[in-house]
Structure 1
């Protein structure tokens, strides 16, 4: 095995032994040694966003006359390579690091400085702090990275996935609209409902989720870039943030704006908490939808079995021919993770002290994971479960025939107490509703046929 070789590099705290082959420097190596916590790193999309910020920042600083044009060009090119995903392996700092994300910001600065020095004319050294990080602070760059990445993910992945799910739920609501089934409250028999109405309720839950996310986007897309250390903008040009953000917006095709108040944006990013809460809401909605479908499909021979789910894989290693609702179980587990991530973000937001939140890495990572998981799961659930769901119409009719809650329709004619007494007797003697009510002599067969028809019970009326 070849022996690892090292180089000696310096940061503001002194010398560090750094592997010879890497592009990062002493500050990054110090963080690697300080935070050997997990294998978790910022997602590649986050790293790419950081590269984009650094690239556009260098170009703007050159235009404003704060960076030598040749150095800025090399920085912009090196950072652009990160944006293109070229140097992901050089980003080695653990998520569980300094709460401002300074170590990741310096990781980027050092890699870019190393690469830019290779690109610039010979004899010129590009410096991580003085050149790459000019007009910036970890305290505004890392929050900006998080906001851009989660906003872009929302626009490009989660909202389209929700739209696909909603569309299929609407299709099912129309397809199943004429089929009546037993309604259930408290998981007990209730008055009839159409299967299409059930799915229309699911569809509207998803529509509301879409509306909530869309209403959040203007706040989520406000960026703290330009606030530098504590929001005052020390050591940065007043035009820097606006011009850099405009360049980023043009590149990504998503409108971002400079925050209306830097002191709030860096200290307590409420829109990230709002996003986590809304992700939790949609996870709860999806959990409900998945569990409902699984419950209504339970069986298939000794359960409710009103819905039928397509088989996608064998369900048991011991019970032959058993099939399980595996796609729904996968969905429910994703919902559990998203709900847990909301708690992580909540705790992270409580680290907003004075002029800075000091849990940005874990907040950003939790939000990224939730959005990424939900988007992937929604496409999978829609394609591999929802679109192939069918209704067992004969089973719906069979269960309706044994549903004493249909007697509710007779309340206006016979009165609540009389109906309750007849249903109680019918249940005790295992009689059908028709038989029990005809026995009272208080209502004719024709009236029973009219009022016990389940379809009219699914619409308003007396």
Structure 2
């Protein structure tokens, strides 16, 4: 039979399984919020636990809590950060506003593990209290927005930045590999002037570089912390040195250049840093969707599509059609991108839903922002390694399309005029004659002139701008 301990809070008493490290407030949240079954993201837990380690250490240095108590709390933090007790963080993502339930889940688990470390029993909060000691000088109102900031920075560093670097590397390799592959360009999905396949991949790489730069810039907003603002941004119940010291300690623990926000109340109220980062993620998702669709289109076929490139087959594509392979990695990229766009919309709506000194929609913002970063990172890494790295090209087909494109007539504009060029294009389409044949029949240019003007190598060569 399951054994229980009795815990008490301001609302009364509850029986808690003795094996549980969470306490009564977490138990109430479990009962109240059986909404999705989605538990807090590991990165978000890491961020909150790191904050608790920093606050315990600083509060001990300032003689706000006993040093041996702080040491036990810090040890509990280290154990959790090393992977222990992860099953104890159990509050549904959709929970009490502002994140009080998740915050108390952190406080209770740390208090109960710290009690064990000092040789006491779980639930003996007279010795180490979730509220009075683990949470000394803190409030959900400043801890949760700080956890979102640090969690976002952790997710970017762990997942998205390495994935973007890897994708850029693979796109650059394909740009070099395909630098001499000439193909028809397309605008409006119609024939356009010739381009190099390598330049298309170089363009994709540059697009990703630009997004990496934008996300880095947006992420700077996350380095300004409201921790120390306490309940409403006034710093009530905190030591005068606490705010600066805890930011410095968190910088030491995380490696991020963290500092107190210029105005703690503003940092608590405004969700604009999260909106800023989320909008940068949405921007990245939109371009990634476009690139994935380009790859799918260029790989379409194999008999009835463009088939200019071959995406690496990674699994059978049909339960009924033998030999069919689908661009599944690119399709997955689209799904992830759509989800990130949806999360961005939810974050934007939640960000304007705060009133006065607090935004109570922070649990939603926390999950959607960090999850966006992590799924984008995972998806882009898969795109780099399972798709882009293995792309090959059909050089002959690319060249056939380039040589057969009616848009080659564009190169004749400066020599025979736009209207003459348009008339030649119409005749070519109607009769099947080549542009070259019609121009020669009409005596508009010589063979030598045509060879110079319709040089595909020259037409598809991009003029590089100098970098300053």
Q: Which of structure 1's runs of 4+ aligned residues deviate more than 6 A?
A: none
Question: Using the alignment, how far apart are the partners of 1:336 and 1:460 within structure 2?
Answer: 33
SS of equivalent to 2:52? helix
Match of 1:296 in 2: 298
Match of 2:55 in 1: 57
Indicate which of 34, 38, 41 corresponds to 2:39.
41
Q: Is there any run of 5+ residues in structure 1 with no aligned partner, and where? A: none
- CA RMSD between the two structures: 1.7
1:158-307 paired onto structure 2 within 5 Å: 158-307=160-309
Match of 1:384 in 2: 386
Match of 2:466 in 1: none
SS of equivalent to 2:164? helix
**8 A Cα contact 2:196 2:461, kept in partner:** no
Deviations 1:78-112 (A, max 9, x none): 23322223111111111111121111111111222
Match of 1:32 in 2: 30
Deviations 1:375-418 (A, max 9, x none): 11112111111011122110011112221100110111110011
**8 A Cα contact 2:316 2:326, kept in partner:** yes
The normalised TM-score by structure 2 is 0.94
* 1:310, distance to aligned residue in structure 2 (A): 1.9
Question: Using the alignment, how far apart are the partners of 1:313 and 1:128 within structure 2?
Answer: 50
**8 A Cα contact 2:43 2:154, kept in partner:** no
Question: Using the alignment, how far apart are the partners of 2:42 and 2:62 within structure 1?
Answer: 30
Question: Using the alignment, how far apart are the partners of 1:249 and 1:231 within structure 2?
Answer: 21
Match of 1:78 in 2: 76
**8 A Cα contact 2:174 2:198, kept in partner:** yes
SS of equivalent to 1:100? helix
SS of equivalent to 1:7? strand
* 1:67, distance to aligned residue in structure 2 (A): 0.9
The size of the alignment, in residue pairs, is: 459
For structure 1, which segment, 402-411 or 151-160, has the greater mean C-alpha deviation from structure 2 after superposition? 151-160
1:136 aligns with 2:138: yes
SS of equivalent to 1:189? strand
**8 A Cα contact 1:181 1:399, kept in partner:** yes
Question: Using the alignment, how far apart are the partners of 2:4 and 2:37 within structure 1?
Answer: 23
Change in CA separation of 1:118 and 1:311 when aligned onto 2, cut-off 3 Å: closer
Match of 1:114 in 2: 112
* 1:288, distance to aligned residue in structure 2 (A): 1.0
Q: Is there any run of 5+ residues in structure 2 with no aligned partner, and where? A: 464-468
